[in-house]
Chains A and B, each alone.
Chain A
Amino acid sequence: MFETLILMLDATMRVSTPLIFAALAGLFSERAGIVDIGLEGKILGSAFAAAAAASVFGSAWIGLCFGIVASICLAMIHGFACITHRGDHIVSGVAINTIVAGLTVTLSMYWFGMGGQTPALVGDARFLDITFPFADAIASVPVIGPIYSNLLSGHNILVYLAFAMVPVTYWVIYKTRFGLRLRAVGENPHAVDTAGISVAFIRYRALIICGILCGLAGAYLSTAHNAGFLKDMSAGKGYMALAALIFGKWRPVPVLLACLLFGFLDAVAVRMQGVEIPGIGQVPVQAIEVLPYVLTVLLLAGFIGKAIGPKAIGRPYVKERA
């Protein structure tokens, strides 16, 4: 039982990683007042760019850079539409998701001609797992052994980075000048503007950070968790991250917990397919898969707590005319 739990948690860490990156990305964006349902598109775009670059240059790090750049570009389109041209955030997000879904396949067909995939990545073109010192040595020690060598050790660097990003995000959001301004801009952009700070500049910077984090999420998918890009490989992770963001009420630590919960449910669901549980029979996997969305809806409807987002979210900032 304990073994199984460790294995499930181990899988949870791997599955949650892109969710954590993307949900933190959404946190930066939405705390600055920009609704971002384009997380999905940015993840997918980055996954493609990272895999393509990694396969061409043979380096996962170069892939990561390309992934981040691609994701930032998409974030800037979102910014251009929502910040500069006061466009509807939702529409812009839908547009980005749609464009990326089409473009990644079109481009990968052209470059690699493999039905919308990139070539499989080998060796340095992928982020490989890191084994902690003495992991093998103490693997057999009860309790601590499995926790250390199975759960904590043996992930790739992006997994650790994702978890490290949570305290970093917390610090940036609550303890720095940028964070103060970012939160203020999401609550009352007029206050920020009259304080002599450019609302647009803060929002653009928030979106750049959002782009970087989505870039990490996408690169993780294609160059760390998997070994190559696949059509539609983000498979709704952006939306699930959005759900986690809401579920975590736009705060870094609860958001992390929400991501872990959703990741855990996913890890459970994967292993439940077609499995007969003695006495119960088959548990429909779909029921587990759907839980994150159902929970988020229940939360939004106020049946379990209340999710109150940043006040100025989704509203374009226009200087009022006298």
Chain B
Amino acid sequence: MKAVFLASVTALAISSSLAQAASEPAVVYDQAGKFDKSFNEGVYNGVKKYTAETGIQVREFEPKNEAQVEQGLRRLAKRGYSPIVTVGFNMTSAVEKVAKDFPEINFTIIDGVIDLPNVQSVVFKEHEGSFLVGALAAMASKTNTVSFVGGMDIPLIRKFACGYEQGVKYQSPNATVYQNMTGSTGAAFNDPTKGSELAKSQFSKGSDVVFAAAGGTGIGVYQAAKDEGKLAIGVDSNQNHVQPGTMLTSMVKRVDEAAFKTYADSAAGTWKPGLVVLGLAEDGVDWALDDNNANLITADMKAKMEDIRAKIISGDIKVHDYMSDNTCNY
């Protein structure tokens, strides 16, 4: 027994020193984990796609607390994994520290901005996508009342809310939009109970379409919509499959593309540091139409959506970015 044990320890030491030589891609999810059906899962889909197309395994790491984020990053960097995709603004400070210490390793941070020569920062024009689904919500609403459930009360989520509201009002200027935030900490992204409570209260006030930009909290929102026969709009990943028939659409944020592109570019040697902003024009955000929601979208709605989409890209419709001035005056 002791011998087995010692052998495995030795084997470990060897294997970890071997790992140093490799230069494989890696990803660090945030604490919600890769199966949050939303943001992280989007990245995970990109990772899956890359592995499926190239056969190259991507080293995945799911930290469980604050300290492990930096430790995990450091460990990956030390073993030479590159590029390392990191998910979410929560990781900004950890990535910043580790990227400074490992200038030869490439990092991509999604939803955060770091100004370092070895970091690519990918951010999205969520307001544009939110505007689109807002318009669709207004089209689908029979009560002329729609609502929004946000996760954590931060500027980023207000950006979703603001874009959504603009879209609704664009389509139907006298519509009512109810908004609720789930909380003021990270836990607000993972609280389906509260999500469902908020959605239920919005439904009883008359809302019949709800857009949740709330990570795992959204699961509760969609469940509530299904239970009460209302419509819901997903976020980040294409969530139309979560509750088919209930999901009107999803505001897709192509984090999967961002992750995939990082790996692909890196393999091709075209990966570049710096800020990458992805909007409707770049296919970075969009609304999702697939088999799951085809029945809910009439040809008329589809046509209108295409029209609005084109207008945003062309600049005919200006969507206000909440984060540009921390207000929602449009």
Q: Mark B202-237, 1 if CB is under 8 A from A, else 0.
A: 001100000000001001100100010000000000
Confirm or deny: A140 has a beta carbon within 8 angstroms of a beta carbon on chain B: no
Counting chain B CB atoms within 10 Å of each CB, the highest count among A11, A113, A114, A115 belongs to A115
Q: Mark A174-207, 1 if CB is under 8 A from B, else 0.
A: 0000000000000000000000000000000000
A285 touches B180 (CB 8 A): no
A115 touches B200 (CB 8 A): no
CB contact between A115 and one of B34, B180, B181, B194 (< 8 Å): that residue: B34
Confirm or deny: A128 has a beta carbon within 8 angstroms of a beta carbon on chain B: yes
Size of the B side of the interface (Cβ < 8 Å), in residues, is 33
| Chain B residues, Cβ within 8 Å of A20 | none
Confirm or deny: A226 has a beta carbon within 8 angstroms of a beta carbon on chain B: yes
Given contacts A226-B192, A274-B180, are A117 and B204 in contact (CB under 8 A)? no
Our count of residue pairs bridging A and B at CB distance below 8 angstroms stands at: 77
Confirm or deny: A23 has a beta carbon within 8 angstroms of a beta carbon on chain B: no
| Size category, A interface | 20 to 34
Main secondary structure of the interface of B (DSSP, over half): mixed
B227 touches A128 (CB 8 A): yes
A11 touches B201 (CB 8 A): yes
| Chain B residues, Cβ within 8 Å of A115 | 32-36, 62
Within residues 251 to 280 of chain A, which ones have a CB less than 8 A from any CB in chain B?
A: 267, 270-271, 273-275
| Chain B residues, Cβ within 8 Å of A267 | 197
Q: Mark A226-244, 1 if CB is under 8 A from B, else 0.
A: 1110110101000000000
**Minimum Cβ distance to chain B for residue A295 (Å):** 21
Confirm or deny: B249 has a beta carbon within 8 angstroms of a beta carbon on chain A: no
A285 touches B183 (CB 8 A): yes
Confirm or deny: B153 has a beta carbon within 8 angstroms of a beta carbon on chain A: yes
**Minimum Cβ distance to chain B for residue A94 (Å):** 20
Confirm or deny: A136 has a beta carbon within 8 angstroms of a beta carbon on chain B: no
Confirm or deny: A129 has a beta carbon within 8 angstroms of a beta carbon on chain B: yes
A273 touches B216 (CB 8 A): no
| Interchain CA distance A170-B32 in the complex, whole Å | 42
Confirm or deny: B184 has a beta carbon within 8 angstroms of a beta carbon on chain A: yes
| Chain B residues, Cβ within 8 Å of A225 | 193, 196
A285 touches B184 (CB 8 A): yes
| Chain A residues, Cβ within 8 Å of B183 | 273, 285
| Chain B residues, Cβ within 8 Å of A233 | 193
B36 touches A270 (CB 8 A): no
| Chain A residues, Cβ within 8 Å of B192 | 226-228, 230
Confirm or deny: B182 has a beta carbon within 8 angstroms of a beta carbon on chain A: yes
Given contacts A120-B219, A273-B184, A274-B153, are A221 and B200 in contact (CB under 8 A)? no
**Minimum Cβ distance to chain A for residue B225 (Å):** 12
Within residues 158 to 205 of chain B, which ones have a CB less than 8 A from any CB in chain A?
A: 179-184, 188, 190-194, 196-198, 200-201, 204-205
| Interchain CA distance A275-B188 in the complex, whole Å | 15
| Interchain CA distance A209-B223 in the complex, whole Å | 31
| Interchain CA distance A37-B296 in the complex, whole Å | 49
| Chain A residues, Cβ within 8 Å of B242 | 120
| Interchain CA distance A117-B227 in the complex, whole Å | 21
Q: Mark A213-227, 1 if CB is under 8 A from B, else 0.
A: 000000001000111
CB contact between A230 and one of B150, B180, B205, B216 (< 8 Å): that residue: B216
Confirm or deny: A150 has a beta carbon within 8 angstroms of a beta carbon on chain B: yes
| Chain A residues, Cβ within 8 Å of B204 | 3, 7, 10, 150
**Minimum Cβ distance to chain B for residue A142 (Å):** 16
| Interchain CA distance A113-B44 in the complex, whole Å | 13
Given contacts A226-B220, A230-B216, A273-B183, are A14 and B227 in contact (CB under 8 A)? no
| Chain A residues, Cβ within 8 Å of B188 | 273
Confirm or deny: A292 has a beta carbon within 8 angstroms of a beta carbon on chain B: no
Confirm or deny: A15 has a beta carbon within 8 angstroms of a beta carbon on chain B: yes
A226 touches B227 (CB 8 A): no
**Minimum Cβ distance to chain B for residue A78 (Å):** 26
Confirm or deny: A116 has a beta carbon within 8 angstroms of a beta carbon on chain B: yes
Given contacts A226-B193, A273-B153, A273-B181, are A11 and B200 in contact (CB under 8 A)? yes
**Minimum Cβ distance to chain A for residue B57 (Å):** 17
Closest 10 CB pairs of A and B: A115-B33, A274-B181, A114-B35, A115-B35, A274-B153, A273-B181, A227-B223, A7-B204, A226-B192, A270-B197
Can you list 17 A-B contacts with CB-CB less than 8 angstroms, sorted by A residue number? A15-B197, A115-B33, A115-B36, A117-B33, A117-B35, A129-B227, A221-B193, A227-B220, A227-B223, A230-B216, A235-B193, A270-B194, A270-B201, A273-B181, A274-B150, A274-B153, A275-B180
